Structure 1
Amino acid sequence: MTAVQVSNDIYRSTAANGQHYNGKTDFHSYGAQNGDRALPVTFSKDVFSHVTLFTGNTMVTGATGLLNASLKKSNQELVSAIDHTLHWSLESAQIHGRAITIADNSTLGPLEDDRSKYEITVKLFFLSPQGSSDPLSVNHLHNAIQHLETAIGATSTGIKIDHFILAIPNQTFDENGLDPSEIEQFTEDVQVFYLPIWKRLSELRQSGKIGRLGVSEFSKQQLEILKVAAVNVGAVAPEINQVNLHDCCVLPKELIEYAKTEGIELLTHGDSSDILPKATLASLLQPHLAATSASLLDPNFVLKYSVLISSRGLISRKGYIVDAGSE
């Protein structure tokens, strides 16, 4: 497996026993003679303005197995994966200025077999700060895709994503549809907040970098609004719509009929609509990066990915990439 690469001038660990971190951080090997891991002792004083975290493969680390099927919120898996990565991978963190990248390198790296034997599905959760008036960031999209290529050891030509789902902030499924004022507001939101990133995703779709492009928690009316806006700028219409059946026990007939007419695949999922609240991230980071003011770190996005062995119908990899910053 290859280690996560961020930049050539990033501080790197120079001793396998964790005694030195290239002049940036010293390690104390508490109880090293008993096989305990080395712990970074000065991270408690370092203040980082940007955190990127690559969880390990949850199929291997056991985070997936910790899920309680009776719980409605799926972020239990994400929280477990983040906690595991912080606990075991902080000593190999890479630092560049005030940015820190933490990665479980043991389960990252190139796919074990030829790419054609896998099916890669990605869901990108945008986590815009409450009250933000900015469009969804195309730069965040580019960063997320680059991080994914790093995580699965993509070649210099990049990697094709078979299925890409865009999850917009604070979106929940409304089986009763929208009233006239809500339709007007959503139409405006599409034009101002969502269309720029949808256009970029559409370009990736049209270039072959993305196989099929979809959204999450859209009603029939919202799908229609996005389609009209997309077609007007030469972008593609959504091909997939994920719906959380905890929000809707039975899909509305009009949505099913519309999806059938438009060739939209309807899928169900169990993802939380607020997959990584700011307070949750703060509580996870505080024991490990105490001086990093969690109150200043806003989660930018969470990328969830899975790699399916097509011929066997088995998931070989499943993980998350978390990005948060104060700038």
Structure 2
Amino acid sequence: MTKLILSTSNIMSSGPSILRRPTSQKSNVELVNSLRGNFRASKQAVTLARDGKHTSQQDGDITNNEIPYETWTVKENDSLYIPSIDFESSGLVEERGQYDITVKLFFLPGTSASQRCQHAKEAIDVVLKELNMPSIDLLIVSFPGVTLDSSMDCHDPVSGDVPSGEGEDLNAMTKTWKALEWLQEEGLARRIGVAEFGKDRLQNFLHRTKIRPAVDQISLKDNCTVPKPLLELAKQENIALLEHMDCTNILPSGTIRELLGPGPNGAGVLAGPSGQSDGIKGDIAPQWVIKYTAVVENRGVIENRGYFAMAELRQ
């Protein structure tokens, strides 16, 4: 089995972004577009080094598909980094105290609680290496299938509550949460939080944890307000409620195969159906996605923002 580690690099590298300016892209669109752009840039860098000329973005998709994936990726033990990363040259510019670093870890469907404990440590480790920082300020975890459903009505007219999507059971979540508690105890994450927990789920979850979530990140649609029972519980337990625009299933298996497969829109890392075309053969299973944002606090500027994703290739 090979672990495929996909990275977007710093998607703010084209210029600084003022924090108050909201992004217009959903997280899944931003992730896929940024991955594809980083793959293209890495291939073009190989072309430039080899041929001494730069290809245009339009021509690059045609020319660079002929470049073997081995030339712009790197294998380290059981992990293949797509594209290769020079951690020695990456990292934030200022001292640690100048930044507010927020990370959101998306566990994808099909992974067990025991696997996620290891995944959490791996995902945080690669972000810390990328930023060259000893810790992050906030780690939010998103469990697969857990949604605060506001697609029908904003809230119940009597209770004001919003039903939470079923997702997985609390036992699996609690087991996974212990890994996040360990990260906080080790000083790698100063605060930890959850996403899309409604009042009932959050209340039941609190009784099972040693370190309580500092944050509950929720999605509000169509100008809905925070459900009153959830708002009251959050105030009572001193839990901050934050809003987000992320997708729960941020990277389906079909999307990652399209990204890495052959063809004009693929990176040429994976072989095509039935093993046709060059590339690695096997079944692919996405495991996690992690999004990170580093803000220079005194200037309100996003210096570094990006994603990593991990998928297992079972040959």
Give the alignment's TM-score, normalised by structure 1: 0.71
Aligned pairs for 1:94-109 (under 5 A) are 94-96=74-76, 99-103=79-83, 105=85, 109=90
2:169 is the alignment partner of 1:189 = yes
> Which residue of the partner structure matches residue 294 of structure 2?
307
Aligned pairs for 1:138-177 (under 5 A) are 138-154=117-133, 159-174=134-149, 176-177=161-162
> Which residue of the partner structure matches residue 127 of structure 1?
108
Aligned pairs for 1:218-297 (under 5 A) are 218-230=197-209, 235-246=210-221, 249-286=224-261, 287=266, 288-291=268-271, 292=279, 296-297=283-284
CA distance, structure 1, for counterparts of residue 112 and residue 77 of structure 2: 28
Q: Secondary structure at the match of 2:292?
A: strand
Extract unaligned runs of 5+ from structure 1.
1-47
Give 1:96 deviation, angstroms.
Answer: 4.1
Q: Residue by residue, what CA displacement relative to the aligned partner does 1:38-93 show, whole Å, maximum 9, x if unpaired?
A: xxxxxxxxxx843111211111258x9xx983x6x431110111101222225431
> Which residue of the partner structure matches residue 321 of structure 1?
308
2:37 is the alignment partner of 1:84 = yes
**Residues 68 and 84 of structure 1: CA distance in aligned 2, closer, same or farther (over 3 Å):** same
Aligned pairs for 1:103-118 (under 5 A) are 103=83, 105=85, 109-118=90-99
The 8 Å contact of residues 74 and 80 in structure 2, kept in 1 or not, is answered as yes
2:80 is the alignment partner of 1:93 = no
CA distance, structure 1, for counterparts of residue 135 and residue 211 of structure 2: 17
> Which residue of the partner structure matches residue 199 of structure 1?
178
2:22 is the alignment partner of 1:58 = no
The 8 Å contact of residues 50 and 324 in structure 1, kept in 2 or not, is answered as yes
Give the alignment's TM-score, normalised by structure 2: 0.74
CA distance, structure 1, for counterparts of residue 117 and residue 222 of structure 2: 29
Extract unaligned runs of 5+ from structure 2.
44-70, 151-160, 272-278
CA distance, structure 2, for counterparts of residue 152 and residue 293 of structure 1: 30
CA distance, structure 2, for counterparts of residue 244 and residue 256 of structure 1: 14
Amino acid at match of 1:137: R
Amino acid at match of 1:121: T
Give 1:245 deviation, angstroms.
Answer: 1.5
Give 1:103 deviation, angstroms.
Answer: 3.6
Give 1:136 deviation, angstroms.
Answer: 5.0
Amino acid at match of 2:257: A
Q: Secondary structure at the match of 1:77?
A: helix
